[in-house]
Amino acid sequence: MIAVNNKTKIISLLGILSCFTFAGCRLKNPNKEVYHDPNGIIDTYLERDNTKTIADYSPNEILYIVNSEFASHSSYYTESSGNVNAKKGLISYNQEMASKRWKSNDNFLLETISSSSLVKVGDQAFFKGDNILLRKASKVSMSNSTWENKTSSISLDNYKKKYGESPKSFTHYVLNDKSIVSSSLKSQDETKYVYEYQLDKIKSVPKYQIKMKTNGDLADYPTFTKIVLTLTINLDLQPVELVINEEYSMNKTVAGSNLNLNCTSKIVEKYQKLNETVEVPYLDFYNSQIEANA
């Protein structure tokens, strides 16, 4: 038996990917019609009525209230984790993903890590007032990345052009009556309610497509075939967990070859310390960067 190390596996995989192009399977743009209706990318927000109970609201109304109130929380901490499985014929690879969000009054930090046999990426985005600072990981690890000692600044408008939406939003999806195809209450008990939402594969993702194209360094916007959200809230109508199941195709250039990959993903985000004391990491570093650029 011949031992094959990880480096050999990657080289072999890249060689197989190249074969698809040379075999006449050059890919076309998978998404020519990105959704651009200005009215369609506006979320629906809803203020809760204190005379009503959770049972008095429709599933859509629950989501609109959670989405509205999330932006007003003075502090929170969230953790997301999951996997993306990408396939093309006999080729298959798994991308592990994790992100964290810290908010404490005017300080906000997003940290995102993505790792597979082909690529490892680490990014941070720090928001304070009108300041937005970005930095990369010099060494990527799912548990303990090393971060560069330099940052780059970006305006909010340019951040949205690059990533689609501010990471302070509850989700990266557009949430309104046009983007939600169906919704239902799945279960309830003495501590929580669980709702399920099926989202429109075009109308819910115009901002998210921009983010995915940038983060994945894709050749084009991804095309979705399935988006299902499962939201768990507590009796105070606060989010506890959001499970995201997606199916989509993406056009990725690898080793000079374009490959259209069919992907399935499951991401779970857990919400903690809403309006409680939250310590934002690297705060001294980012404040010193803001002062240096003042």
Reported confidence tier of residue 90, pLDDT bands at 50, 70, 90 = confident
Element (H, E) at 60: helix 59-70
The label of the residue with tokens 């109304």 reads 61
Is 27 a residue whose pLDDT tops 70? no
Instruction: Compute the average pLDDT of residues 243-266.
Output: 87
* C-alpha to C-alpha distance for 256 and 170, rounded to whole angstroms: 36
Reported confidence tier of residue 31, pLDDT bands at 50, 70, 90 = very low
Reported confidence tier of residue 91, pLDDT bands at 50, 70, 90 = confident
pLDDT at residue 19, as a whole number = 35
Element (H, E) at 214: helix 206-215
Residue 254 near residue 288, CB atoms below 8 Å: no
Is 83 a residue whose pLDDT tops 60? yes
Element (H, E) at 234: strand 223-234
Helix axes 206-215, 156-163, angle to 10 degrees: 80
Q: What is the pTM (predicted TM-score) of this model?
A: 0.87
**More confident: 262 or 253:** 262
Reported confidence tier of residue 107, pLDDT bands at 50, 70, 90 = very high
Burial class (CB in 10 A: 0-12, 13-18, 19+), 213: buried
Residue 122 near residue 136, CB atoms below 8 Å: yes
